[in-house]
Amino acid sequence: MTASLRPLSRLFIAGLALLAFTLAGCSKKTAEATRDVTPEVEAYYKAHPDFFTFAKLADLPANLSWQDGHDVPEFASPEAKRGGTLHGAIDDFPRTLRFIGPDANGSFRSYILDDNALTLIQRQPNTGQYYPALAKSWALSADGRTMYFRLNPEARYSDGVPVTANDYLFAFFFFRATYINEPWYNNYYTTNFTNITHYDDYTIGVTWKEAKPDIYDRLGQLYPVPQHFYKELGPDFAQRYQWRLEPTTGPYTVLPEDIHKGSSIDLTHVKNWWAADKPFFRHRYNFDRISLQVIRDPDKAFEAFKRGDLDVFGLTLPRFWYDKLPDTDPLVRDGYVHKAVFYNEVPRPTYGLYINAARPLLDNRDIRAGINYATNWQLVIDQYFRGDYARMQTTADGYALVPFPGIKARPFSVDEALASFAKAGFTKRGPDGILVDDKGHRLSFTVTSGYAALKDVLSILKQEALKAGLEFNIEQLDNTTAWKKVQEKQHDIAFSAFGVSVEMYPRYWETFDSANANKPQTNNITNLADPEIDALIKRYDRATTMDEIRDLATQLEIKIREQAVFVPGFEIPFYRAGFWRWIKWPKDFNVRLSQTAGEQGLEWIDEDAKKETLDARAAGKTFPPSVEVYDQWKRKD
Amino acid sequence: MPLIRFQLNPQTKRRLARFRAIRRGYVSFLILAALVILSVVGECLVNSRALLVKYHGHYYFPTYGAIHPGTDFGEDYSYETNYRHLKTRFAAEARGDWVLLPPVPYNAFENDFRPGVYPPTAPSTSERHFLGTDTTGRDILARLFYGFRIALIFSAFYIGFVYLIGIAVGCAMGWFGGSVDLLGQRLVEIWSNIPFLFVVMIVASLVRPDLFLLVAITGLFSWTGMTYYMRTATYKQKARDYVAAAEALGASTPRIIFRHILPNTLSTLVTFIPFTLAGAITSLTALDFLGFGLPPPTPSWGELLQQGTANLNAPWIVLSVFIAMVFVLTLVTFVGEAIREAFDPKKFTTYQ
């Protein structure tokens, strides 16, 4: 679920892999070259008849209302031109080309899976409606738990094999198999889904355990898994498929000759890609090739960009946007390189201080509230982040459908903090200015952080907190170690964040339910255990309408704010990019739900402009500069 | 008989005279000593607290001791007084109150943010940021200065620790010889092959290191070099007649080691100290540079160096720390060379 979880699960997976490796070593190699998993798959289907149902088309419920997204607006630019090569950089060479299993959860996966492969239906990233991808049309059952999909018979994998209903049934076998060394997947695909029905080769029905407002995401975003490719699936899956790329339904694939281990990897547009001219996919994924070279140091990558070796470079960090590529830089001033700021609207990673309410002193709500008032995030944002970032206000900012307009984080206030600490008995300052109570306790807490790049943030907070008589001791650890410590609930205060994917509404059970408090290895890192909040979460998780969800989420946010266990930090409401003049974007630049500029494949390369720019540069000719701000999705407040 | 006699033996006197005669080394030593003394009274030179405040006819000396809340001087806050603001306020009020600030009126931790100006800011004498500020608006001179002091404290403990183990183990191997020597040597070889940096990285990523933990970790992996010299020196002395004489007179082993052998190997040890000091400063800087050193926001040269290299567009950061490092390490090396020359036995004996 979260970015922060990744290092830990990777560690766990590495452990499993090691175990698997040892076991494999013990059992010695039996001749498995001609392994065929098909009989095992069929036996599995037979053994789970309630889950895998084989029915006839006639069994499909009548009076379903089928949707096909014909009224959903397209969002790519018709002006886009196909062709050309995009030059990009990655900070490390992928450790595997598998989508799943040890080391597969790296950043490269987005190039070959998350931003590439098609799901059944996909969300229009501006309006939030759904458009057809691998499914041609879809319908929701009357009880809101089952969705039916008619697959597009034209859909093909990159190796030419058609995508059929079988691949969705196989997906469940695959994701539940122990061979893949992925306990999270095993669990997710076992506990949440209750049935998949095969009506014919191009019609399926999938059932979730309960009705949910975001059932379209939960069921519609399933990936097919090509059974023909995983015929040799077995205990040696991790090694056997290490460098074999699964055939994709998406626009780009990696050809074996383009893998240069350690130095570069190229993506090639699938020849005669089946969806190339389909609505919602036309004018997107315009490059013939995406050439990615490994540049491990971001500053070095930036120099490569300035030299013209890379076409696009992310400038979100103030250091790059203001200092390394200011608007006065000759490249920008002369119009060769354009800059753009795009305000997106996605759930924000929850950067802030998580207070462990199970610790002595911190179990006092007044002290926690005081800590909230004594934490000067606004100064960090104004001075360190140059006023670019925004204050996070709740535990779940950025959900377009679940806004909390009335709820604000506590502002920095020495007086409020002192008043709050005084309620807890901390009224006197010691000789060093730190508050003490009658029993001789000092108001001093350790802040654990795994973010080496953000250590300056904590040192600013520390200085400011001193004014309110509060001492933060900064404990800067390695990322994995810090997260482990926090997961073991051994921290006083953790500076952390949960990465959140684009979902319709926030989750609370994982982070604030007492079921996860005072237990190691859960995400309730504040150890908040409040019966009222539990009751609300229970109702929230069973809510079936958006109105109900909004209402309960608001109540939850108010309660959580009251408990003061989370000091909301900052959020980055935009992303910024620099790009050479020949890279063109749609006139709105990008889409609301985008987290990076390239993820929807909307940009293209204008070869004429490239030639013109290079010639002009050689001749000393300049162009008008372009530094654009796209704030159509900016939060208004 | 007192254990330490403040009467130097003639040989040591000659060595000191010779050291003083080596101008470069001697001057370096004086500068270094001055720097050490300055850093001891650092709070009077580089500090956000005032040296002297006159308020309503009373005199205050806030430099050392407990904080003075702002309310002591008629400010409206209970946290530590901002003496720079106080100075401007007193000047504006012109009631005969005044504040005497140290030459550098900043400490190594405070973030000097100014509206509309984003750190790092360039050196400025009007703001008294003589070397500019770092990426969070902290005074670089203050951080350099206190970073130096911490490096010195670190080095002092480090040298003590390393020499204690190194001398003990080296002496033992040299004195007892035989299987102790053979076994000891092998253990030392194995121990010295443990990659020290990795161990430090692992430990530093697991716990929040403090000064003594860092001394202990770095020291534990650095004493091996010393044992070789001590072992040979002990062997050499052990074979001398005066040791046999002491033994014949019935002196105990500890007495022979501590009263006879150790003082005679001292010249070997002394020549190593400046180079160990340079080594200690560089390894602390290297660890801080890599982020495995003292926890933030401890002022340190390594952290400044790391900031400087990441922000080459603010050259004053990297230049300040680079020049400071080169300067101090050069001084130490000059001193070291001079000591080595002054203690060189070739000056006093002739080999045939």
**Chain A partners within 8 Å of B139 (Cβ):** none
B69–chain A nearest CA distance, Å: 8
Residue B206 at interface with chain A, using a CB cutoff of 8 Å: yes
Structure tokens at A341: 């700021």
Nearest-CA distance from B294 to chain A in Å? 10
Q: If you average pLDDT over every residue of chain A, what do you get? A: 90
Domains belonging to chain B, first-starting first, are 48-101 (no CATH), 141-348 (1.10.3720.10)
Contact indicator for A265, A292 with CB cutoff of 8 Å: yes
In Å, what is the CA distance from A631 to each residue of A20, A371, A570, A589, B344? 50, 34, 19, 10, 74
Looking up tokens 């920095």, which residue turns up?
A412
- pLDDT tens for residues A391-447? 999 999 989 889 999 999 999 999 999 999 999 999 999 999 999 999 999 999 999
Identify the band that residue B3 occupies on the pLDDT scale cut at 50, 70 and 90.
Answer: low
Question: Pick from A163, A167, A170, A165: which is nearest to A42 by CA?
Answer: A170
**Who contacts A540 (Cβ-Cβ below 8 Å, separation ≥6)?**
A508, A509, A549, A552, A553, A556
Pairing of strands A574-580, B98-100: unpaired
Task: Kindly state the DSSP code that residue B328 receives in the 8-state scheme.
Answer: H
**Chain-chain contact of B296 with A455 (C-beta, under 8 angstroms):** yes
Backbone angles phi, psi at B155, to 5 degrees: -65, -40
Among A312, A287, A293, A290, smallest CA distance to A302 is for: A312
State how far residue A302 is from chain B, nearest Cα, in angstroms.
12
Give CA separation, B241 vs B230, B236, B245, in Å: 19, 11, 6
CA R_g for chain B: 26
Looking at residues B114-120, what average pLDDT do you find? 85
* Rounded Cα distance, A41 and A60, in Å: 25
Contact A175, A186 (CB under 8 A): yes
- Which residues 62-91 of B have a C-beta within 8 angstroms of A? 65-67, 69, 77-80
Q: Are B155 and B277 in contact (CB under 8 A)?
A: yes
Which residues in chain B have Cβ-Cβ distances shorter than 8 Å to A429?
Answer: 67, 69, 78-79
Size of chain B in residues: 352
Which stretches of chain A drop beneath a pLDDT of 70?
1-33, 637
Where b means 16+ CB within 10 Å and e means fewer, A106-117 reads eebbebbbebbb
| CB within 8 Å: A467 and B79 | yes
- Do A459 and B310 make contact, defined as CB atoms within 8 angstroms? no
Task: Say how far apart CA A460 and CA A463 lie, in whole Å.
Answer: 5
How many angstroms separate the CA atoms of A15 and B103, rounded?
57
The confidence score (pLDDT) of residue A618 equals: 93
Identify the helix (H) or strand (E) that includes residue A334: none
Distance in Å, alpha carbon of B71 to nearest chain A alpha carbon: 13
Strands (E), A319-397: 337-343, 352-355, 390-391
> Do the Cβ atoms of B19 and B338 come closer than 8 Å?
yes
| Dihedral sign, Cα of residue B338, residue B343, residue B346, residue B350 | positive
* Whether A460 and B136 lie within 8 Å, measured CB to CB: yes
Q: What residues of A are in contact with residue B113 (Cβ under 8 Å)? A: 379, 382-383
In three-state form (DSSP H/G/I as H, E/B as E, the rest C), the secondary structure along B240-302 is CHHHHHHHHCCCCHHHHHHHHHHHHHHHHHHHHHHHHHHHHHHHHHHHHHHCCCCCCCCCCHH
The string of pLDDT tens digits covering residues B281-314 is 999 999 898 888 888 899 999 999 998 988 888 8
Beta bridge pairs of residue A388: none
Query: Which residues, 6+ apart, have CB-to-CB distance to A3 below 8 Å?
Result: A349, A497, A498, A499
Q: Residue B24 belongs to what H/E stretch?
A: helix B23-40
Of B67, B80, B111, which has the smallest distance from its Cβ to A460's Cβ?
B111
Chain B residues inside the 8 Å CB shell of A459: 109, 111, 136, 296-297
Contact yes or no for B294/B286 (Cβ under 8 A): no
Whether residue A17 lies within 8 A of chain B, CB to CB, comes out as no
Alpha-carbon gap: B322 to the closest alpha carbon of chain A (Å): 21
Q: Tell me, what DSSP letter sits at residue B102?
A: -
- Which residues from chain B sit within 8 angstroms of residue A382, using beta carbons? 113
Residue A205 phi, psi (nearest 5): -130, 135
Residues of chain A positioned with their CB less than 8 A from the CB of B67: 429, 431-433
Partners of residue A428 on adjacent β-strands = A436
Q: Does B295 touch chain A (CB under 8 A)?
A: yes
Percent of chain A scoring above 90 in pLDDT? 75
Q: Please give, rounded to a whole number of angstroms, the shortest distance from the CA of B35 to a CA of chain A.
A: 28
| Largest pairwise CA distance in chain A | 83
The amino acid occupying position A376 is N
B136 closest CB neighbour out of A323, A414, A456: A456
Q: Which of B80, B137, B297 sits opposite A433 (nearest CB)?
A: B80
Q: Which residue of B has its CA nearest to A298?
A: B310
Residue B179 reports pLDDT greater than 50: yes
- A176 Cα to chain B: minimum distance (Å): 35
Quick check: A173 and A41 in contact, CB under 8 A? yes
pLDDT at residue A104 in the model = 83
Counting residues of chain B whose pLDDT is more than 70, the rounded percentage is 95
Q: How do residues A473-494 score in pLDDT, each as one tens digit?
A: 999 887 778 888 898 899 999 9
pLDDT at B96 over 70: yes
Q: Say yes or no: A454 contacts chain B, CB-CB below 8 A.
A: no
pLDDT at B335 over 80: yes
Q: Is A463 on the interface with B (CB under 8 A)?
A: yes
Cis geometry, peptide bond prior to residue B297 (ω within 30 degrees of 0): yes
User: What residue ranges in chain B does DSSP mark as E strands?
Assistant: 52-55, 58-60, 98-100
Least CB–CB distance from A414: residue in B66, B79, B313: B79
Query: In a 3-state reduction of DSSP, which class is residue A628?
Result: strand
In A, residues 295-354, which contact B (CB 8 Å cutoff)? 299, 319, 322-324
Mean pLDDT score of chain B: 89
CB-CB neighbors (< 8 A) of B48 in chain A: none
Instruction: Please judge whether B67 and A431 are an interchain contact, meaning their C-beta atoms are less than 8 angstroms apart.
Output: yes
Among residues A583, A510, A576, the alpha carbon closest in space to that of A541 is found at A510
Nearest to A432 among B67, B119, B207 (CB): B67
- CA distances, A353 to each of A3, A339, A348, A462, A495 (Å): 17, 33, 15, 12, 5
Q: What is the pLDDT of residue A137?
A: 96
Q: For position B284, what pLDDT does the model report?
A: 92
| Closest Cβ opposite residue A459 in set B69, B136, B206 | B136
The whole-number average pLDDT for the span B228-257 is: 90
Nearest CA in chain B to A463: B110
Q: A41-80 as b/e, with b when 16 or more CB fall inside 10 Å?
A: beebbeeeeebbbeeeeeebeeebeebbbeebeebbbeeb
Chain A interface test: which of B63, B64, B111, B200 (most A C-beta within 10 Å): B111
| ipTM value | 0.85
Give the gap in angstroms from C-alpha A431 to the nearest C-alpha of chain B.
4
- Which residues, in sequence order, are CB contacts of B205 under 8 Å at separation 6+? A477, A478, A481, B292
Smallest CA–CA distance, residue A409 to chain B, in Å, is 23
Chain B residues in contact with A462 by the CB 8 A cut-off are: 109, 297
Task: Find the CB nearest B135 among A446, A456, A477.
Answer: A456
Across the interface, whether the CB atoms of B79 and A466 are under 8 A apart is answered: yes
In angstroms, the CA A543 to CA A550 distance is: 10
CB B193 within 8 A of CB B187: no
Cβ–Cβ of A433/B109 closer than 8 Å?
no
Peptide bond into B120 cis (omega under 30): yes
Burial class (CB within 10 angstroms; exposed 0-12, middle 13-18, buried 19+) of B57? exposed
Distance between A466 CA and the closest CA of chain B, angstroms: 8
Nearest chain A Cα distance for residue B254, angstroms: 45
Per-window interface: A 234-293 vs B, CB < 8 A: none
- d(Cα B24, Cα B16) in Å, to the nearest integer? 14
Question: Hey, what are B27's tokens?
Answer: 């001057």
> CB of B160 within 8 Å of any CB in chain A?
no
Structure tokens at A345: 């609207």
